[in-house]
Amino acid sequence: MLSKQTFLQGTLILILAGMITRFLGFINRLVVARLMGEEGVGLYMMALPTLFLVMTLTQLGLPIAISKRVAEADAQNDRAKIKRILVVSIIITSISSIFFTVVMIFAAPFIATTLLTDDRTLLPIIAVSPIIPIVAVSSVLRGYFQGVQNMKPQSYSQVIEQVVRISCVALFVHLLLPYGIEYAAAGAMFSVILGEFASLLYMIYQFKSKKTIRMRHRFFSYLKSSKQTIRELFSIALPSTGSRMISSFSYFLEPIIVAHSLAIAGISSTIATRQYGELTGFVLPLLFLPTFITQSLSIALVPNISEADARKKNHLIHYRIHQSIRISFASGAIATVVLSIFAVPILSFMYGTSNASTILIFMAPFYILLYIQSPLQAALQALDLAKPAMWNSLIGAIVKFVVLFILASNESFGIMGVAIAMSVGVILITLLHLAALRKEINFNIPIMDIVKMLALILATWSVGKIVYDFYITYDPNILLFGLSLIILMVIYIFLLFILKFITKEELEQIPFLQRWMK
C-alpha cells in the first residue's frame, strides 16, 4: 500500500524537499553565473521561456486534473478508474510531447533570430528540446502520487534531479565554454535534461515497486473504455491549460517584448541581454525563493480541497485556504524584509556583483503578494473554478505587458520599467484571485489577520534595520552576515508564535514533534 499523509504532513515533506532543491538550485545558479557571467545567464534565461511554453502545451493541464480525479477515485477505492486515468494521460502526453519536440526543433531558428533577436539562443533551445517527453511522463506520475496524497516519491525525485543537474552543469559548461558562450549555455541546458531523466527513472521505480497497478495488463482495453475518463479529465485540464498557457505564453513573450522595448529606448542587444540576465537570473530567483513553500501548499491543497468539496465540507475548504494564506505569508514576510534590507550584501556574496540591488529593493515589498497567489489559484482549480483563474491570469498578463512596453521603451526607465511591470502583474493577479474566491464561496481574509500580517512585517522590518546597522558598523564579512541573518530569523520565529501564525495544533501534526508536544 502507498503511504498517505495528512495535509500538513504532505506539505511538510514537499517543503523539506523544496528547501533542499532550492538550495541546490542556487548552487547551480552560482556555478553557471560564475562560469558564464551575466551575458551567459542572459542567454540561458532567454531560452527557458520557450521550453516552458512548449511543456505547457504538451501537458495540456493534465497534472492538476490527474491529481483531482485520482483523489476522487482513491477515496472510492476504484483501482480500475485510476488505471484508466493513467493510461489516457500517458497516451495523450506521449503523443503531444513528440509532436511539440519536433515543432520546437524546427522553429528554433525563427524563435532565436526573429523573436529573441539573439541568434546565440539557438543552441540552448535545441539542446533542451529532448527534455519535453521526459517531463511529460514525469508529470503524469507526479499527478498520480499527488492524487493518492503520497508526496514522498516526487519530493525525493526533485532532490535527485537537482543533485544530478548540479553534478553535470559545471562539467559541461567548463568543457564547452572555450567554443563560445552559446555552447556553454547549451551545456547548462543539457545538464537539465540529465537531471530530469534521473528523476523520471526514480519515480518509475517507485511506481512499479508498489505493484498496486499493472499498467501493461489489458492496456488497450482500458484505453478503449476510457471515453468518460477523458471527458472527466479534460473538464478540468482544459480550463487549467488556459491559465497555464497564459502564464507560459506571457513568460515566452516577456524576453521578446523586453528586447524590443529596450531597443526602442536605445539600449544595445548586448546590454539588454546583460540587464535581463541580472533581473531574471539574479533578482527573480531570490524573490521566488519562498515559493517552494507556497508551491508545496498548492500541491497538497488540490486533492485536499477536492475531497472536502465532494463531501460538501465548506467550513474545511475555508479553513484550508485561510491556513494556506497564513503559512504562505509567514514564509514570505521574512524573505521580503531580508531581501529589502540586505540586498547589497546578498547579491555581492552570491553573484560577486550588486548591480541589481536597486531592482531587488524595489520589487521585494510587492512580491509578498506572490507568495499567497499560488495557494489561491490552487484553491480555485480544486473547486472547478479554473475559468476565473484563467481570466485573472489573462488580465494580469495584458496589463503587465502594456506597462512593460510603455515604461521599458522609455530611456529614463529602461530595465526598471520591466521590474515595475512585473510587480504590477503580481499585485493585480493576486487581488483578482481573492476577489474570485470571495464572489464564488464568500471567502474573506479576517480583518484581525490582516492586522497581524501588518504587525509582523513592521516588527520584523524594525528589528531587521537594527541588525543591519549592527552589521555595517563592523567590517562586513560573510560570517558576520550569516550571524546577522540567524539573529533576525530567531526573533522572527518568536514573532510568529507571539502573533499565532503557527498554532500548537499544527505543530502536533509534525511527526518528530508529536511526542514532545504531548
184-210 tens-digit pLDDT? 888 888 888 888 899 999 998 888 886
- Three-class DSSP category at 226: coil
**Range of 436's domain?**
7-445
- Using alpha carbons, select from 201, 223, 225 the residue that is nearest to residue 87: 223
Task: Give the C-alpha separation, 273 to 416, whole Å.
Answer: 14
325-365 tens-digit pLDDT? 888 898 889 999 999 999 888 888 888 777 888 899 999 99
Please give the residue that has the higher pLDDT: either 465 or 12: 465
16-36 mean pLDDT: 78
Task: Give the C-alpha separation, 442 to 460, whole Å.
Answer: 32
Residues 29, 278: contact at Cβ < 8 Å? no
Residue 304 resides in a domain: yes
Residue 214 resides in a domain: yes
The pLDDT score that the predictor gives to residue 516 is: 46
Confidence band of 1 (pLDDT split at 50, 70, 90): very low
Residue 285 resides in a domain: yes
Residue 393 resides in a domain: yes
The pLDDT score that the predictor gives to residue 490 is: 92
Could you tell me the maximum CA-CA distance found in the chain, to the nearest angstrom?
Answer: 73
Residue 65 resides in a domain: yes
Task: Give the C-alpha separation, 32 to 28, whole Å.
Answer: 6
Task: Give the C-alpha separation, 306 to 299, whole Å.
Answer: 12
Residue 462 resides in a domain: no
| Residue 132 cell numbers, joined | 519535453
Residues 399, 424: contact at Cβ < 8 Å? yes
Res 219 pLDDT > 60: no
How far is CA 151 from each of CA 74, 118, 229, 260, 350, rounded to the nearest angstrom? 15, 41, 24, 43, 31
- Using alpha carbons, select from 303, 280, 244, 251 the residue that is nearest to residue 14: 303
Residue 21 resides in a domain: yes
Give the rounded distance of the alpha carbon of 148 from its chain centre. Answer: 22
Residues 276, 255: contact at Cβ < 8 Å? yes
How far is CA 411 from each of CA 42, 265, 279, 407, 408, rounded to the nearest angstrom? 21, 5, 17, 8, 7
Residues 90, 137: contact at Cβ < 8 Å? yes
Residues 61, 138: contact at Cβ < 8 Å? no
- DSSP string covering 340-401, please? HHSHHHHHHHHHS--TTHHHHHHHTTGGGGHHHHHHHHHHHHHTT-HHHHHHHHHHHHHHHH
Long-range interactions of 411-415: CB distance < 8 A, separation 24+: 411/265, 411/266, 411/267, 413/265, 414/262, 414/265, 414/267, 414/275, 415/262, 415/275, 415/276, 415/278, 415/279, 415/359
Query: What pTM was computed for the model?
Result: 0.74
399-428 tens-digit pLDDT? 999 999 898 888 778 788 889 999 999 999
Task: Give the C-alpha separation, 60 to 486, whole Å.
Answer: 43
Task: Give the C-alpha separation, 155 to 10, whole Å.
Answer: 10
253-308 tens-digit pLDDT? 888 888 888 888 877 767 777 778 788 878 888 898 888 788 888 888 888 887 78
Task: Give the C-alpha separation, 469 to 466, whole Å.
Answer: 5
Res 507 pLDDT > 70: no
Amino acid (one-letter) located at 225: S
Residue 490 resides in a domain: no
Least confident of 29-43, 183-197, 211-225, 260-274: 211-225
Residues 407, 417: contact at Cβ < 8 Å? yes
Res 111 pLDDT > 60: yes
How far is CA 496 from each of CA 331, 452, 453, rounded to the nearest angstrom? 10, 10, 10
Angle between helix axes 269-277 and 415-441 (nearest 10 degrees) is: 50
111 DSSP assignment: I
Neighbours of 476 (CB within 10 A): 15
Counted domains in the chain: 1
Q: How many CA atoms lie within 13 A of 148 on its CB side?
A: 25
Contacts of 302 (CB under 8 A, 6+ apart): 64, 67, 68, 71, 146, 378, 381, 382
| Residue 442 cell numbers, joined | 464568500
| Residue 424 cell numbers, joined | 504590477
- DSSP string covering 62-99, please? HHHHHHHHHHHHHHTT-HHHHHHHHHHHHHHHHHHHHH
Burial 9-33, CB ≥16 within 10 A → b, else e: bbbbbbbebbebbbebbeebbebbb
Res 517 pLDDT > 50: no
- Using alpha carbons, select from 229, 71, 209, 81 the residue that is nearest to residue 148: 71
Residue 275, phi then psi, degrees to nearest 5: -65, -40
- Quote the percentage of the chain above a pLDDT of 90: 15
Task: Give the C-alpha separation, 333 to 493, whole Å.
Answer: 11
Category of 444 on φ-ψ map: left (φ > 0), alpha (ψ -120 to 50) or beta: beta
Q: Write down the residue that cell numbers 505569508 correspond to.
A: 329
Please give the residue that has the higher pLDDT: either 460 or 308: 460
Mean pLDDT for all residues in the chain: 82
Least confident of 23-32, 178-187, 503-512: 503-512
Neighbours of 360 (CB within 10 A): 25
Amino acid (one-letter) located at 231: R
